[in-house]
């Protein structure tokens, strides 16, 4: 079975300033492509260390992917390290230089002299196109495939998908790994593990792994077999079993966020939504508009952070705030109703709460959030007590609001 | 200067399911203790690979710290790998066995047979106490100090602080590292590097490192000296030189976000702000309210995603939209004015643009964003052409808006 090895280059990865998310992304992608990662190296911005790492990684694997160190500054030394390992010189490529100059020109800027180095790649190597200024590099040496990609995650991911993945897939031939992801919201990791029982055992094939982020639990079904069809069939059978065991906890697949699942369903059902936010301060609207095409279902949002804004913009009666407090089910409901009336949408969400770290009382502690989802003839209001700190409380409140709407939409 | 090398052991780190946070934690801790990390290895649960990694790490550094692979299951092989590297056998230590048995007894459970292996350590090595069942291991070989710690973050962190850090500090003796961070916005990495010139040279002390995130450039000043006072003084002098060279590009220090710097200054100057967002869809408000205490300066926000919302909520004339288009300087200005008038704040920001991935034209390409900052008697409108994809364009637009406001506030 062919394997891959990763090299992450950059002092910032070694002094604890940056968590290495590129390596995790590449590992998952390579595994899906049928090439598991056998080893990973994190090294400093030094030509000799980089050259040595290419050698070490090449003894572990057939495909070596380095990230980082392609920037324009003096501590970007990946080009030099790779050239040293290959035993060749760096060459200035005119077509790359033109491209970089055009990149700056299109932004009405002159190319700084420093960026000239980005047009250099080791002799005999191939340049890979980038959305940023730094081209990637692909080289072959003693039957091993070597790649150098930028460290900026957005650039790295796009270059990997467009230029590296097709090559890697060709090398993987035969041995197939199919990964499916089921995305769940509404229960904790241990509840899900209990419902799944022995399916989560190690060394089972397919392997079921579980990761958690922003309250969303992702179940990874990793099926390995000779041939893609067989692996795909195994993954599909497991998906059915997991869906049966988890019911409405499953909201989507792949990389789909909760907001995206809700947005796509709103568009599908030709429904619209408005939001009225207090403690989440724009986060709910931001999540709903993260996806392209959000204008199909999202038109209006209000962030009524002060009481006065709740009254003037959404028509929440000042009396109601005085009687129940700004953080109350009554106010959440009035915010949602006001937003839906003004925006003339099918749904509206009102959120008010105490995100902390101060402002909590015994009756209304930090983490208390009221969420109201208003639709024609129906208004559902929920009281939530969310834990952890401000960031987590805000995110969890927005996600919970989306989840209430999801269940109303029958996703 | 003494250095450290890290070995992270575990298949879950290589298939992309787990992000390696242990390495980032240890790197930062070791740097503060005066022992920078020179390299890091991530390897699979295999005895030979582990033994080889101890050898490689030992050539890079004086202190080698491995994490993971000390559990009781068959794929926990760090003990075996370390023993193989040291060329010794594993020994069962009675006192460790008793401790593990007591651990289970105190929880009214019998020790599973599998856990017996956790009482074994390489002959001649020292066991390190743990809050969990797996003792850590410390060994010396050819003048190098080797440590094996558990992979569970809570256990690892405690064992590192209690058993490893005192040893490491002793080895570092005298040598102190002080890290300062300066945060900049408004220019690219290469422009900043050009302005700093030789200060960014490798092997300089203090070392100046540069990381980029969301358009914010962080300069890390890493000063190394005999004694903490001397290192602190060196870092301070460099901070002065950097500030002099970069002028108003520097907006803050440490972990401070651009939104936080702006928010704190608004509170300090007792000024308020409202926002009117189109393409950023709530992100600007979200950034401004991420920090606790945002209600001191933030009261109102509007997300006017549709043209109709711009007109009904902010009073943007429909004629103006018809004449110039929703993505125009005129509309951005009208949004900002409308928001400031309605909210009666000192400042208001209006943003309208094309975040993509569709909706661009030749005249108005994807990434075109107009930002208007309105204040009493003054309205500054800027046309920006931002690159990359939707997420980056939205984030960069919001950050640029904050930066215009920052410069108005003279931060």
What count of Cα atoms within 13 Å lies in the side-chain half-sphere of residue B298? 33
Chain A residues within 8 A of B304 when measuring between CB atoms: 300
What chain A residue is nearest to B393 in terms of C-alpha separation?
A290
What is the nearest CA distance from B95 to chain A, expressed in angstroms?
31
The answer to whether the CB of A136 falls within 8 A of the CB of A150 is yes
Chain B residues in contact with A158 (beta carbon < 8 A) = 389
Which residues touch B25 (CB under 8 Å, ≥6 apart)? A16, B153, B156, B157
- Report whether B357 contacts A292 (CB < 8 A): yes
Q: What is the pLDDT of residues A264-296, one digit of tens each?
A: 999 999 999 999 999 999 999 999 999 999 999
d(CA B270, nearest CA chain A) in Å? 16
Contacts of B356 in chain A (CB under 8 A): 292
- Residues of B with Cβ-Cβ distance to A16 under 8 angstroms: 24-31, 37
Q: CA of A309: how far to CAs of A50, A335, B278, in Å?
A: 57, 11, 19
Tokens found for residue A15? 């002094």
Fold of B259-408: Maf protein (3.90.950)
Q: Kindly report the number of other CB atoms within 10 A of residue B49's CB atom.
A: 18
Residue B371 CA to residue B398 CA, distance in Å, equals: 9
- Which positions in chain B touch A132 (Cβ < 8 Å)? 387-388
Chain B CB contacts of A38 under 8 Å are 14, 44
pLDDT score of A194 more than 90:
no
Instruction: State how far the Cα of B260 lies from the Cα of B268, in Å rounded to an integer.
Output: 12
Q: Where in chain B is the domain with CATH 3.90.950.20?
A: 259-408
**Omega before B267 within 30 of 0, i.e. cis:** no
Residue A201 — pLDDT band, cuts 50, 70, 90? Answer: confident
Report the residue of A15, A107, A219 to disrupt the B interface, i.e. the one with the largest count of B CBs within 10 Å: A15
Segment A203-206 long-range contacts (CB within 8 Å, at least 24 positions apart)? A205/A234, A206/A234, A206/A235, A206/A238
What CATH number has the domain spanning A175-253?
A: 3.30.70.2860
pLDDT tens for chain B, 411 residues long, are: 789 999 999 887 887 777 778 898 899 889 878 888 999 999 988 999 999 999 999 999 999 999 999 988 878 899 999 999 999 999 999 999 999 999 888 878 888 888 899 999 999 999 998 877 789 999 999 999 999 999 888 889 999 999 999 888 888 777 788 889 999 999 988 889 889 989 988 778 998 888 787 789 999 898 988 888 999 999 999 999 999 999 999 999 998 999 999 999 999 999 999 999 999 999 999 999 999 999 999 999 999 999 999 999 999 999 999 999 999 999 999 999 999 999 999 999 999 999 999 889 999 999 999 999 999 889 999 999 998 789 999 999 999 999 999 999 987
Give me the mean pLDDT over the A35-47 stretch. Answer: 93
Give the pLDDT confidence score for residue A139 in this predicted structure.
96
Give the closest residue to B300 by CA, choosing from B320, B321, B314.
Answer: B314
Cα distance between residue B406 and residue A365, in whole Å: 34
CA dihedral B393, B398, B399, B403 (to 10 degrees): 130
Interface touch B300/A303, C-beta < 8 Å:
yes
C-alpha span between A113 and B190 (Å, rounded): 9
What percentage of chain A carries pLDDT values higher than 90? 71
Residue reference for tokens 């290495």: A20
CA atoms within 13 A of residue B371's CA, in its CB half-sphere: 22
- The token duo for A103 is 């990149």
> With respect to CATH, is domain B4-172 assigned 3.40.980.10?
yes
Chain A residues close to B191, C-beta within 8 Å:
112
CB A262 within 8 A of CB A294: no
B290/A301 Cβ within 8 A: no
CB distance A15–B209 less than 8 Å?
yes
Q: Are B314 and B339 in contact (CB under 8 A)?
A: yes
Is the pLDDT at A134 greater than 90, yes or no? no
Taking the CA of residue A237 and the nearest CA in chain B, the distance in Å comes to 22
| Residue where the block lists tokens 């805000």 | A394
Residue with tokens 């279902």: A297
Instruction: Give the single-character DSSP code of A77.
Output: -
Residues B150 and B132: beta-carbon distance below 8 Å: yes
Domain(s) labelled CATH 3.30.70.2860 in chain A stretch across: 175-253
The Cα of A125 is separated from the nearest Cα of chain B by a number of Å equal to: 25
Q: Do A28 and B17 touch (CB under 8 A)?
A: yes
Query: What was the pLDDT predicted at A208?
Result: 86
Higher pLDDT, A207 or B127: B127
Handedness of CA B263, B268, B274, B278 (dihedral sign): negative
d(CA B139, CA B145): 6
Mean pLDDT of chain A: 92
CA-based nearest residue to B10, from A10, A199, A24: A24
Q: Are A294 and B281 in contact (CB under 8 A)?
A: yes
Distance CA B75, CA B68 (A): 11
Which of B137, B116, B141 shows the shortest CA–CA distance to B126?
B137
Helix (H, G, I), strand (E, B) or coil at A383: strand
Chain A residue with CA closest to B286: the answer is A282
Q: What is the pLDDT of residues A369-404, one digit of tens each?
A: 999 999 988 999 999 998 778 998 999 999 999 999
As a whole number, mean pLDDT of residues A166-185 equals 84
pLDDT for A171: 80
Of B161, A294, B133, the C-alpha closest to B147 is B161
Phi and psi dihedrals of B227, rounded to 5? 95, 140
Interchain pair A295, B288: CB under 8 A: no
> Which whole number is the average pLDDT over A64-86?
94
CA–CA dist B387, B246 (Å, integer):
24
Q: Do A309 and B300 touch (CB under 8 A)?
A: yes
Q: Please give the residue of chain B at the shortest CA–CA distance from A391.
A: B290
What's the average model confidence in pLDDT over A205-211? 83
Judged by DSSP in three states, A364 sits in coil
CB A286 within 8 A of CB B282: yes
pLDDT of residue B109: 81
Residue of A nearest to B181 (CA): A17
Residue contact B23–A36, C-beta within 8 A: no
Query: Which pLDDT score, from 0 to 100, does residue B160 have?
Result: 96
- Give the angle subtended at the CA of A219 by the CAs of A213 and A224, to the nearest 5°: 135
Residue A162 clears pLDDT 90, i.e. is over it: yes
Contact A23, A13 (CB under 8 A): no
The 8-class DSSP code of residue A338 comes to H
Find the closest chain B residue to A389 by CA distance. B292
Q: Are the beta carbons of B46 and B68 closer than 8 angstroms?
A: no
Q: What is the pLDDT of residue B230?
A: 94
Is A372 in a helix, a strand, or coil? Answer: strand
Rounded mean pLDDT, A45-67: 95
Q: In angstroms, rounded to a whole number, what is the distance separating the alpha carbons of residues B147 and B126?
A: 10
For B261, other C-beta atoms within 10 Å of its C-beta total 21
Buried b / exposed e along A66-101 (16+ C-beta atoms within 10 A): bbbbbbbbebbbbbbbbbbbbebebeeeeebbebbb
Ramachandran angles phi, psi of A235, nearest 5°: -65, -40
**Angle, helix B329-343 to helix A307-314, in steps of 10 degrees:** 120
- The three-class DSSP label of residue A90 is strand
3-state secondary structure of A179: strand
d(CA A318, CA A311): 6
Among chain B residues, the shortest Cα distance to A24 is held by B16
pTM value is 0.79
What are B199's two structure tokens? 């200060």
Considering only CB atoms, B210 lies closest to which of A73, A275, A293, namely: A73
- A74 vs A379 pLDDT, higher one: A379
CB pairs under 8 A between A and B: 274
Task: Select from A4, A46, A11 the least CA-distant residue to A25.
Answer: A4
pLDDT confidence of A232, banded at 50, 70, 90?
A: very high
Q: Residues B15, B16, B20, CA angle at the centre, nearest 5°? A: 115
- Give the gap in angstroms from C-alpha B387 to the nearest C-alpha of chain A: 8
- Residue B133 backbone dihedrals phi, psi, to 5 degrees: -85, -30
Of A14, A72, A283, the CB nearest to B27: A14
- 3-state SS of chain B? CCCEEEEEECHHHHCCCCCCHHHHHHHHHHHHCCCCEEEEEEECCCHHHHHHHHHHHHHHCCEEEEECCCCCCCCCCHHHHHHHHHCCCEEECHHHHHHHHHHHHCCCCCCCHHHHHHHEEECCCEEECCCCCCCEEEEEECCEEEEEECCCHHHHHHHHHHHHHHHHHHHHCCEEEEEEEEEECCCCHHHHHHHHHHHHCCCCCCEEEEEEECCEEEEEEEEEEECHHHHHHHHHHHHHHHHHHHHHHEEEECCCCHHHHHHHHHHHCCCCEEEEECCCCCHHHHHHHCCCCHHHCEEEEEEECCHHHHHHHHCCCHHHHHHHCCCCHHHHHHHHHHHHHHHCCCEEEEEEECCCCCCCCCCCCCCEEEEEEEECCEEEEEEEECCCCHHHHHHHHHHHHHHHHHHHCCC
In angstroms, the separation between the Cα of residue B193 and the nearest Cα of chain A is 7
Task: Judge: B38–A131 Cβ closer than 8 Å, yes or no.
Answer: no
Q: Are strands B368-375 and B347-353 parallel, antiparallel or unpaired?
A: antiparallel
Residue A180 confidence (pLDDT) above 80: yes
Contact A41 B41 (CB under 8 A): yes
| Per-position DSSP letters for A23-49, written without gaps between them | HHHHHHHHHHTT--EEEEEEE-S-HHH
Residue in B with minimal Cα distance to A392: B290
Q: Kindly report the nearest CA distance between residue A225 and chain B, in angstroms.
A: 17
Residues of B in contact with A303 (CB under 8 A): 275, 282, 285, 289, 300-303
Chain B residues within an 8 Å CB radius of A43: 39-40
Residue count of chain B, please give it: 411
Are A282 and B303 inside 8 Å of each other by CB?
Answer: yes
Choose among A355, A367, A307, A365: nearest CA to A335: A307
Q: Compute the distance between CA of residue B62 and CA of residue B286 in angstroms, rounded to an integer.
A: 46
Q: Is A183 in contact with A264 (CB distance < 8 Å)? A: no
Residue from the list B283, B293, B390 with its beta carbon closest to the beta carbon of A292: B390
């Amino acid at each position: 079975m062919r394997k891959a090895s990763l090299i992450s280059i950059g002092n910032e990865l070694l002094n604890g300033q940056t968590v290495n998310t590129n390596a995790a992304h590449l590992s998952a992608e390579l595994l899906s492509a049928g090439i598991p990662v056998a080893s990973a190296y994190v090294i400093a911005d030094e030509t000799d260390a980089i050259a040595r790492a290419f050698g070490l990684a090449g003894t572990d694997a057939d495909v070596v992917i380095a990230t980082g160190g392609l920037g324009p500054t003096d501590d970007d030394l990946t080009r030099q390290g790779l050239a040293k390992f290959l035993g060749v010189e760096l060459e200035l490529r005119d077509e790359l230089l033109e491209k970089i100059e055009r990149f700056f020109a299109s932004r009405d800027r002159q190319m700084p002299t420093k960026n000239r180095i980005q047009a250099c790649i080791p002799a005999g190597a191939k340049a890979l196109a980038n959305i940023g200024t730094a081209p990637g590099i692909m080289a072959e040496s003693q039957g091993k495939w070597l790649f150098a990609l930028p460290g900026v995650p957005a650039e790295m991911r796009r270059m990997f998908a467009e230029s590296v993945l097709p090559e890697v897939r060709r090398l993987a031939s035969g041995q197939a790994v199919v990964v499916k992801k089921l995305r769940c919201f509404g229960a904790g990791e241990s509840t899900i593990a209990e419902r799944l029982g022995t399916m989560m055992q190690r060394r089972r094939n397919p392997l079921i792994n579980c990761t958690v982020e922003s309250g969303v639990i992702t179940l990874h079904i990793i099926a390995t077999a000779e041939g893609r069809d067989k692996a795909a069939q195994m993954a599909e059978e497991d998906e059915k079993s997991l869906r049966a065991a988890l019911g409405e906890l499953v909201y989507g697949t792949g990389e789909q966020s909760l907001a995206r699942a809700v947005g796509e369903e709103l568009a599908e059902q030709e429904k619209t939504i408005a939001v009225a936010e207090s403690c989440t301060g724009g986060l709910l609207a931001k999540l709903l508009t993260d996806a392209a095409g959000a204008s199909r279902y999202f038109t209006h949002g209000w962030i009524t952070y002060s009481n006065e804004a709740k009254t003037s913009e959404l028509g929440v009666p000042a009396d109601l705030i005085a009687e129940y407090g700004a953080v109350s089910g009554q106010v959440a409901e009035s915010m949602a109703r006001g937003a839906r009336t003004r925006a003339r949408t099918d749904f509206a969400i009102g959120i008010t709460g105490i995100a902390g770290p101060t402002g909590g009382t015994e009756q209304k502690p930090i983490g208390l959030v009221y969420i109201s989802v208003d639709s024609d003839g129906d208004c559902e209001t929920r009281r939530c007590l969310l834990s952890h700190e401000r960031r987590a409380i805000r995110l969890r409140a927005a996600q919970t609001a989306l989840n209430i709407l999801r269940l109303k939409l029958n996703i």
